Amino acid sequence: MDKNTQEIVERIKKLKKKKRAIILVHNYQRPEVFKVADRIGDSLELCRFAKTTKAEIILFCGVNFMAESAKIINPQKKVLVPYLDAGCAMADMVDRPALLKFRNKFPGAAIVTYVNSTADVKAVSDVLCTSANAVNIVKALPNKQIIFVPDKNLANFVSARVPEKEIIPWDGYCPIHNVIDRDYFEEIKIKYPDAKILAHPESVNEILEIADAIKSTSGMIEFSREDPARDYFVFTECGMLDRLRNEVPGKNFYGVCNLCFDMKKNTLNSILRCLEQERHEVLLDKMVIDSARKSFNLMFELT
């Protein structure tokens, strides 16, 4: 770490203490951001941590829906984001009026919504899920018909594991996971014929069908720690490679990945300014928070 970076890291750490703040960091963030994290994790881990923290301020380094989730779970806390405009393209593929209209067609169905969604959509859902618990949530519900929003690939992954239920997918997807660089993949497959395939469930079906393990971002770390293989092709956002290489030394991870630019917007400088000025507070309508929290609470109860 160069001297300037070290200085910024120290200033952020001091401010955290002074203001009783914690910094929650998603696995896809820039590696320098990990240096100031109180917790690095996948969506489920970060939601759980946000639920139990005693801190007064939660500074969230991820994309907007993640910070909104922390606010919904913990409405009495101040939730800050370093950069206001870090969106998620998949979350924007469904809105509340369209979802309510769709639900009318399936009166007996439960709406299971992936946390990668807006607070408004969460508020009209029956229960939320993350990539780590989607299968268990769908299994635990009494409904036979499930409207699964917004990721069609995650819906497809769940459907294959819960065949006794009818999964009605929303036609959304993550633009980062919904494409693969086939030429590059073919090229490295020849070079590393024994490498296993690790995929995020947001990936296209073609990849999910050949994957050795389909895991949430933190699930990938856990899996590769335990698994005997040495080499892995990783199908998810490229930032995961930094986490895997750090957390699972001695193994090789080859990224067949794309960058989520929204996930890269936060920098140490913007985190410092955010904490100093307590700016970019996440504010949501109280009615939205109350309804969305019910859907979160059911998720926590079911898993």
CB of 60 to ligand SF4, least distance (A): 13
- Judged by beta carbon distances under 5 to 8 A according to partner kind, the member of ligand SF4, ligand 13P, none in contact with residue 117 is none
**Do 275 and 80 meet the contact criterion of CB atoms below 8 Å apart?**
yes
Q: Which residues of 63-77 are buried (b: 16+ CB within 10 A; e: fewer)?
A: bbbbbbbbbbbbeeb
Q: Indicate whether 266 belongs to the interface with ligand 13P (CB under 6 A).
A: no
Candidates 29, 44, 237, 244; binder of ligand SF4 (CB under 6 A) is: 237
Question: DSSP string of 92-136?
Answer: GG--HHHHHHHHTT-TT-EEEEESSS-HHHHHT-SEEE-TTTHHH
Comparing CB distances to ligand SF4, the nearer of 12 and 129 is: 129
- Judged by beta carbon distances under 5 to 8 A according to partner kind, the member of ligand SF4, ligand 13P, none in contact with residue 130 is ligand 13P
Comparing CB distances to ligand 13P, the nearer of 15 and 44 is: 44
- Judged by beta carbon distances under 5 to 8 A according to partner kind, the member of ligand SF4, ligand 13P, none in contact with residue 81 is none
CB of 298 to ligand 13P, least distance (A): 18
Q: Indicate whether 117 belongs to the interface with ligand 13P (CB under 6 A).
A: no
Per CB under 6 A, contacts with ligand 13P among 118-137 are 130-131
What whole-number distance in Å separates Cα of residue 71 and Cα of residue 62?
A: 14
**Do 146 and 112 meet the contact criterion of CB atoms below 8 Å apart?**
yes
- 184: enclosing H helix or E strand: helix 182-191
- Judged by beta carbon distances under 5 to 8 A according to partner kind, the member of ligand 13P, ligand SF4, none in contact with residue 43 is ligand 13P
Candidates 55, 174, 220, 272; binder of ligand SF4 (CB under 6 A) is: 174
Stretch binding ligand SF4 (CB under 6 A), from 74-82, 139-147, 208-216, 256-264 = 256-264
What whole-number distance in Å separates Cα of residue 145 and Cα of residue 290?
A: 25
Per CB under 6 A, contacts with ligand SF4 among 193-232 are 202
Q: Please, what sign has the CA dihedral across residues 119, 120, 124, 125?
A: negative
Q: 59: closest CA among 104, 9, 24, 110? A: 24
SS3 188: helix
| DSSP category for residue 170 | -
Per CB under 6 A, contacts with ligand SF4 among 117-136 are none
**Do 202 and 174 meet the contact criterion of CB atoms below 8 Å apart?**
yes
- 149: enclosing H helix or E strand: strand 145-149
Comparing CB distances to ligand 13P, the nearer of 126 and 202 is: 202
Stretch binding ligand SF4 (CB under 6 A), from 50-58, 84-92, 266-274, 283-291 = 84-92
Candidates 198, 260, 271, 289; binder of ligand SF4 (CB under 6 A) is: 260
CB of 217 to ligand 13P, least distance (A): 3
Q: Indicate whether 224 belongs to the interface with ligand 13P (CB under 6 A).
A: no
138: alpha, beta or left? (left if phi > 0; alpha if psi -120 to 50)? alpha
Distance of CA 199 to the CA centre of its chain: 14
Q: Indicate whether 176 belongs to the interface with ligand SF4 (CB under 6 A).
A: yes
Q: Give contact residues for ligand 13P (rule: CB under 6 A).
A: 27, 42-43, 116, 130-131, 174, 200, 202, 216-217, 237
